[in-house]
Amino acid sequence: MGRNAIQFQKGLSFPEFQQRYGTEAQCEEALAQIRWPDGFRCPRCDGAVHGLVYGRRLKRYQCRQCSHQSTVTAGTIMEATKLPLTIWFLAFYLIGQAKTGISSLQLSRQLGVAYNTAWMLHGKILRAMSERDESYLLQGRVQIDDAYFGGERPGGKAGRGSENKVPIVAAISLNAEGHPIHAKISPVPGFTLEALADWARQHLSSSCSVLSDGLACFRSVAAAGCSHAAVVTGGRHPNDLPEFRWINILLSNLKTSFSGTFHAFDFDKYGKRYLGGFCFRFNRRFKMAEMTERIANAACVCKPCPERALRVAEHYA
């Protein structure tokens, strides 16, 4: 990984963040810019002509054509929030800057809100990041591997088949020079041919040439039209093979993140959005200065999600 390119890039400093997103009006304007870069459009009738109604916390955009009233948060994951937008933006910032992730507990301390509030906010933001990343497919050369996460001990491949752990598939695409581009990490129902075929159809384009170890289920990436080659590890630990360098680095970063900040994390239930959030950050690691805005963007395109839906265990398929 290009050290200079990633680790020494210019990010968004905290003073710069405060300068840009320090007030409610600034955050409201930032959301309006993200949602309607070419000016307001009515979500009901697509009309552009509107008036502004002041008086409540957020100003209302009233459509002249159909009289529908809208706000910058209506129809997004932030809909009907009681929290100031500055708290949302500070959460976008903290989640985006935390290289090894942040726990809801840390978030609650840093935002100065109750743990439950931070948990909800964190869950919603991770969900938005996760959904945003689901929308594209990996292309070209791809390394793929299996692992187990959750349970009592974080990470590790030693326990293939062990109980209380969630099977996950990790994949990373490489460019022509062999540098990592995009990562996808998802929980799967199991390491079966069927589960991997479903996974491949959802996450890989047919242009992919996939490299895996000899685990049988990986050959079903062919279901997505990809070519596949398996490296026979011949008794060596796959971590020692240069062919799998990037996927190993990715999984090792994930373990660090998980064990460092998510001890109390209910991975069995919420692993999907956690992994999606991890990949979102990884996939934008060259653009640290834009991270806050990109998370705000993900929050704008994500549909509202009531608390009860957020507490339900996610589907892995």
Annotate each residue in 272-301 with x if it binds Zn ion (CB under 5 A) or - if it does not, as one string. ------------------------------
Nearest distance in Å: CB 191, Zn ion: 50
Rounded distance between C-alpha atoms, residue 26 and residue 21, angstroms:
6
Question: Tokens for 69?
Answer: 């009233």
Contact 12, 292 (CB under 8 A): yes
Q: How far apart are CA 20 and CA 132, in angstroms?
A: 24
Report the residue from 23, 65, 175, 252 that binds Zn ion according to the rule CB under 5 A: 65
Give the Å distances, CA to CA, from 64 to 28, 40, 49, 75, 77.
21, 12, 6, 19, 26
Where are the strands (E) in 114-208, listed by range? 141-149, 166-174, 180-187
Size of the site for Zn ion (CB under 5 A): 8
Q: Which of 68, 219, 269, 285 binds Zn ion (CB under 5 A)?
A: 68
Smaller CB separation from Zn ion, 68 or 153: 68
Q: Using CB under 5 A, pick the residue from 66, 114, 193, 289 that binds Zn ion.
A: 66
Question: Which segment (60-68, 135-143, 188-196, 274-282) binds Zn ion by CB under 5 A?
Answer: 60-68
Q: Does the protein bind Zn ion through residue 75 (CB under 5 A)?
A: no
Q: Closest CB to Zn ion among 59 and 68?
A: 68
Q: Which is nearer to Zn ion, 63 or 168 (CB)?
A: 63
At 257, phi and psi to the nearest 5? -60, -45
Distant-in-sequence, close-in-space partners of 226: CB < 8 Å, separation ≥ 6: 142, 200, 204, 205, 206, 207, 208, 209, 210
Instruction: Please say which residue, 79 or 290, places its beta carbon nearer to Zn ion.
Output: 79
> Could you say which residues in the range 17-46 bind Zn ion, by CB under 5 A?
42, 44-45
20: its two tokens: 């840009």
Give me the least distance between CB of 249 and Zn ion, in Å please. 50
Pick the piece of the chain touching Zn ion (CB under 5 A) from 48-56, 67-75, 86-94, 218-226: 67-75
When asked if residue 63 is in the footprint of Zn ion (CB under 5 A), the reply is: yes
Contact between 60 and Zn ion by CB under 5 A: the answer reads no
Can you tell me the distance from the alpha carbon of 137 to that of 221, in angstroms, rounded to the nearest whole number? Answer: 13
Q: Which is nearer to Zn ion, 42 or 168 (CB)?
A: 42
Q: CB of 249 within 8 A of CB of 3? A: no
CB of 65 to Zn ion, least distance (A): 5
φ/ψ of residue 312, rounded to 5: -75, 140
Q: CB of 64: closest distance to Zn ion in angstroms?
A: 8
Nearest to Zn ion of 22, 75 (CB atom): 75
DSSP string, 10-64: ----HHHHHHHHSSHHHHHHHHHHHH-TTS---TTT----EEEE-SSSS-EEEET
Residues 6+ apart with CB under 8 A from 67: none
At closest approach, how far in Å is the CB of 59 from Zn ion?
16
Q: Are 107 and 302 in contact (CB under 8 A)?
A: no
Q: Which is nearer to Zn ion, 42 or 247 (CB)?
A: 42
- Shortest reach from residue 34's CB to Zn ion, in Å: 20
Choose which of 11, 22, 47, 189 interacts with Zn ion (CB under 5 A). 47
Write down the least CB distance from residue 50 to Zn ion, Å: 8
61 vs 278, which CB is nearer to Zn ion? 61
The position carrying tokens 């070519």 is 227
Q: How far apart are CA 22 and CA 25, in angstroms?
A: 9
283 half-sphere exposure, CB direction, 13 A CA radius: 24
The residues binding Zn ion (CB under 5 A) are 42, 44-45, 47, 63, 65-66, 68
